[in-house]
Structure 1
């Protein structure tokens, strides 16, 4: 039902549906923590295909295995497919209507705000975990890679995933060494 709701309520493509899926998975049903959702989202962004469908498939698989993945994907895409077939004639008829154009234009800022809130929350958690200097540095690096050097977003995400994997290993090793040094000073 959660993926069915995201399929019915989602409008504007995968990135606009991600906050709805996040709400269902993290807040409403508490299938995972926010940090895990961020990791799943990052990995899903590196893979080809629609992001919302990949998330629906992952959540279904996580909860009920292969059948759950199939049901999660179908529950997410069937409402959209039915709506597309049913509304195609209306779209052709009303395509020149100023009212319909205004309604569509009114949705764009809402989607932007939803994505902005999610980005702020993710950034806030990154700064909390890494500190302001590292968080700002990584933001600038990712901005430059994406905007100045036109590096594909999947490559940037993969680079930061690699960094995150090594960062935590190095941090754990450094903390372990500090504890051992502390014990040696007591003797």
Structure 2
């Protein structure tokens, strides 16, 4: 239990930029280092955690904790990933007015945002390498990218449309292709 809590505490403590920037670290610890879950399961977790209510990092941590040590594991992982943010936000809010106008702090946050963008890009590339590739995959990726980039429709609808089209593809198109081969 301590390992689960401490692992997610470290992830929460040393990751800036929200849930997406935590994905590479969650992957490293949960898949590579401790082998709590497999690669395919991790990709599925990211898809589910993104499409369910709540932050992706908390949803992912809760799932990994539950998979590892059931209810108590999910509680420890969730507390571990949330507690650092709670502590840091409490401290920052106590001193916010003193640092709000500080140019050095502003530059530091600008650098942190760039680092977060790189972490998110890294996570995207790792997931891309592992996902099954087809015409539908590329069409959905481009559709989602441009819809999100130009803020045409809310992200939740992009995810729902992708999920529905994925189900349609597997049930109707792949199934008919398998039946043709028989």
Q: Distance in 1 between matches of 2:18 and 2:175?
A: 39
Q: Could you give the per-residue CA deviations for residues 93-129 of structure 1, whole angstroms, max 9, x where no partner exists?
A: 2222111111111111111111111112223334xx2
2:143 alignment partner, one of 141, 144, 147: 141
Aligned residues: 176
Q: Larger relative contact order (C-alpha < 8 A, sep ≥ 6)? A: 2
- In 2, Cα distance between equivalents of 1:29 and 1:154: 32
User: What's the counterpart of residue 94 of structure 2?
Assistant: 89
Distance (whole Å) between structure 1 residues aligned to residue 139 and residue 81 of structure 2:
37
Q: Is the 8 A contact 2:21 2:120 kept in 1?
A: yes
Separation in 1, partners of 2:56, 2:114 = 21
Match of 1:73 in 2: 78
Match runs of 1:20-169 below 5 Å: 20-126=25-131, 129-131=132-134, 133-147=135-149, 150-169=152-171
Question: Is the radius of gyration larger for structure 1 or structure 2?
Answer: 1
Q: Is the 8 A contact 1:57 1:69 kept in 2?
A: yes
Q: Verify the 8 A CA contact 2:148 2:155 in the aligned structure 1.
A: yes
Q: TM-score, normalised by structure 2?
A: 0.82
- Counterparts in 2 of 1:68 and 1:154: CA distance versus 1, 3 Å: same
Contact 1:56 1:72 in 2 (8 A): yes
Give runs of ≥4 in structure 1 deviating > 6 Å: none
- Alignment match, 2:8: 3
The alignment's TM-score, normalised by the length of structure 1, stands at 0.80
CA–CA distance in structure 2, aligned partners of residues 93 and 144 of structure 1: 40
Instruction: Answer whether contact 1:26 1:33 (CA < 8 A) is retained.
Output: yes
1:175 to 165, 174, 178: 178
